[in-house]
Structure 1
Amino acid sequence: MLLLHLTFIFTNLISIVFGTSVTPSESSSSSVNPPASVPSGFVTTRGNQFVLNEKPFAFVGANSYWLPLLTSQDDVDATLKSMHDAGVKVLRTWGFNAINGSELAGALQSGVTYYQVWNSSQWELNDGPQGLQRLDQVISTAEKYDIKLIVAFTNNWVGYGGAELYINWIAGAGNTHDVFFTNPQIIKSYQSYVQTIVNRYKSSPTIFAWELMNEARCLGDLPAGPNCVASKPTLTTWYRQQSDFVRSLDPHHMITTGGEGHFNWTKPATYWFNGTLFSDYNFNGQAGEDFERDLALPNIDFGTYHLYPQTWYPQLDFPGSNFTVQQWGLEWITDHANAAARVGKPLILEEFGVTGLQNKTAIYPTWVNHAIQTQHAIFPWQFGQLGLKEDGGNRLIKYADALIDGASPNDGFAIYPNQTAVFNIFTNAAKVQARRSQ
């Protein structure tokens, strides 16, 4: 989740379900095709469990998209050490950072990390010290601290060079967001970049899994077109194609979607707003996802979903409303746990967050406990680090992302070690997960 994503939160409406329960469109069963017999140190799956070296691997993870954006190896090292000390076992970060050619001079001056430069219908790779070598450093340092990585290949949103750079440079202006998933030239270009990343790291046991896209939807910063709607499996087809492609490159690492976990139910949840009954975006397939169908794909090894009810539908979150952020989150967790159990694959609550320290302290324990009780891993958005030294601890990175007084970027969701009442929720959960891994 990036701040730029918030432009579109009004489209992601939350349900208040009255009366009867909601049933999925289908009870999915999967043709499970986990990675081939994996080398030592690689994580794989066994039913609904992750497995590492033949033992169950339960864990608490962390999100840090900004870690490869740091220019100081000392700060990278300090951050990963902090994660290790907190019990973090898996880190999720971006395997993409792209710019337009017009941004290159500024990027060189500011030192911002970039892996791709777009000047035409084909990008140029930057595998130098301001490019992929920074991702190399993150991966090698993570290995030092026994932390594995989920690496996302691109972004649904414009932030840090997502899908719409491909659309603008290849398909051209005037196209809808969903052409990213169907245009043959765009798919070829995406796969070329994916192949670059996978081939660079496919022998590394530090890679936990490959992620096809962060938060894929029919719409992005561009609107959706008529070819990406609930009745047409545009995203499911793309997930199948790309997961099959990645598996052809890498038989050992796991693959996941990176999706937010939207459902496509025949009787979707509804909610009342201003006297009108609405069909809910999270459940009616309008986003393009079909969580159960997508999870059942043979080369999707585990499920992901995200959880931001406070910001997804703030109109319902007001004093006196019968909607509560906490309860809605518990039901969302249950819905995904039940769906993953039917499909028979592991599950990660890959991003979740509320703003406000008091909200975090009150709500996170219930969400975390429920997720752990239903046997899946958790990745709060996002890990906060203090004491960063580069540029004296103050540096504008890009957009509104900045280091301020040594603190890593904070979009309102960051969790810092000095916020002990919140931070300890996750360190204690990490201890529970570690005991399950013995």
Structure 2
Amino acid sequence: MQQAGVKVLRTWGFNAINATELPSALESGLTHYQVWNSSTWVLNDGPQGLQRLDNVINTAGKYGIKVIVAFTNNWVGYGGSDLYVQWISGAGKPHDIFFTDPEIIASYQAYVKTLVERYKDSPNIFAWELMNEARCLSDTLPAGPTCVPGSNTLKTWYREQSDFVRSLDPDHLITTGGEGHFYWRKPAEYWFNHSLVSDYNYNGQAGEDFDHDMLLPNIDFGTYHLYPQSWYPELDFPGSNWTVENWGLKWIDEHIKAANKADKPVILEEFGVSGLQNKSTIYPTWVQRALDTRHAIMPWQFGELGLTEDGGNRIIKYADAINHGASPNDGNTFYINQTAVWNIFTRAAKIQDARSG
């Protein structure tokens, strides 16, 4: 990463498992920070737990890289927010209760406090991130009737949790980790199957309101993500006049406009397309637009070759695996041997570095 010009990386500050998974986790060496067996989780700060996050943060610092730490996940991957819902509130509750239930919020804040107090004096921390991709729904639980467009459920949670983190750490930056969904009173629409469809990314259904979330006093910079290829599969087909590239450029423009209005920086924090040809042709235009509009960029995701654990073939969890020495690849991962893609990002890093002096 240092050789590629990376100055800031983002990593998960969460890895939670159920107690029933603990024996296999111990046997396989699986990283885990929280173990759930009741309405109270147990912290693992040992050599298979937070000591591994210590290693990530300390190693980053040795190479002049700072770290954004995300506190939990909207999705089931690595034991996200739904574990809080399932263990504290029980079966049958909607996902968005995570953002409103006092007992769940207290449990989340207890874990956040553990991480912030552990690392707030580290010079290697760049920012705290409240949650990866907060939405009203998750991949395992639906949204409830109180998390709807205009309910401000996520905005209220962003405000309360950013204020809480600020009370623990007055010095480091704080951001949401959101995908940057808008809540426009006249949301974008598109034609599909002879019908006019209200666009999920603009109608507030996801729960975010990027324009107003950016204005919260303890949200120091904005984040948004960019995956039109997977967000609009019904529009992305040969012969369509809709293109992944052009939609992405519009999405970038709309977020820099909102960030400028709020007078705050913004990071294109995750973006990806599948296929090497797509990456090598689409990324240059997205990255250049981000550079032209004074964005920061964090492509999803940085991959590594030549890994040797378990002979270079290691099952981790959620179908993640080291495969023939290469780190897990969800189709968006890029590697140093993919020169056409790699050079796009190393060039951008040099430009950003020159700008920052």
| TM-score, normalized by the shorter chain, greater than 0.5 | yes
Q: Letter of the 2:334 partner, please give it.
A: I
Residue 410 of structure 1: how far off its partner (Å): 0.6
Residue 95 of structure 1: how far off its partner (Å): 0.1
Equivalent of 1:213 in 118, 123, 131 = 131
Match of residue 268 from structure 2: 349
Unaligned runs of 5+ in 2: none
Q: Letter of the 1:216 partner, please give it.
A: A
Q: Letter of the 2:137 partner, please give it.
A: L
- Partner Cα separation in structure 1 for residue 318 and residue 269 of structure 2: 23
Q: Letter of the 2:335 partner, please give it.
A: Y
Match of residue 144 from structure 2: 225
Q: Letter of the 1:108 partner, please give it.
A: L
Equivalent of 1:372 in 274, 284, 291 = 291
- Partner Cα separation in structure 2 for residue 131 and residue 155 of structure 1: 17
- Partner Cα separation in structure 2 for residue 435 and residue 255 of structure 1: 25
Match of residue 300 from structure 1: 219
User: Is 1:139 paired with 2:39?
Assistant: no
Structure with more contact order per residue of length (Cα contacts < 8 Å, sep ≥ 6): 1
- Partner Cα separation in structure 2 for residue 437 and residue 391 of structure 1: 41
Match of residue 179 from structure 1: 97
**Map 1:33-432 → 2, pairs under 5 A:** 83-221=1-139, 222-432=141-351
User: For this pair of structures, how many residues does the alignment match?
Assistant: 356
Residue 231 of structure 1: how far off its partner (Å): 1.9
Q: Letter of the 1:151 partner, please give it.
A: V
Residue 339 of structure 1: how far off its partner (Å): 0.4
- Partner Cα separation in structure 2 for residue 113 and residue 319 of structure 1: 42
- Partner Cα separation in structure 2 for residue 399 and residue 239 of structure 1: 28
Residue 229 of structure 1: how far off its partner (Å): 0.6
Q: Letter of the 2:226 partner, please give it.
A: L
Residue 267 of structure 1: how far off its partner (Å): 0.8
SS of alignment partner, residue 307 of structure 2: coil
Residue 377 of structure 1: how far off its partner (Å): 0.4
Residue 313 of structure 1: how far off its partner (Å): 1.1
TM normalised by structure 2 equals: 0.99
Q: Letter of the 2:16 partner, please give it.
A: A
Residue 304 of structure 1: how far off its partner (Å): 0.1
TM normalised by structure 1 equals: 0.81
Unaligned runs of 5+ in 1: 1-82
Match of residue 70 from structure 1: none
Residue 205 of structure 1: how far off its partner (Å): 1.6
- My pick for the range that moved more, 343-352 or 312-321, is 312-321
Match of residue 78 from structure 1: none
Residue 286 of structure 1: how far off its partner (Å): 0.5
Residue 397 of structure 1: how far off its partner (Å): 0.9
Deviations 1:71-106 (A, max 9, x none): xxxxxxxxxxxx000000100000000000000001
Match of residue 11 from structure 1: none
- Partner Cα separation in structure 2 for residue 211 and residue 160 of structure 1: 16
User: Is 1:433 paired with 2:355?
Assistant: no
SS of alignment partner, residue 240 of structure 1: helix
Deviations 1:118-164 (A, max 9, x none): 00000000000000000000000000000000000000001100000
Residue 319 of structure 1: how far off its partner (Å): 1.1
- Partner Cα separation in structure 2 for residue 231 and residue 260 of structure 1: 17
- Partner Cα separation in structure 2 for residue 87 and residue 275 of structure 1: 47
Residue 380 of structure 1: how far off its partner (Å): 0.5
Match of residue 5 from structure 1: none
- Partner Cα separation in structure 2 for residue 344 and residue 297 of structure 1: 12
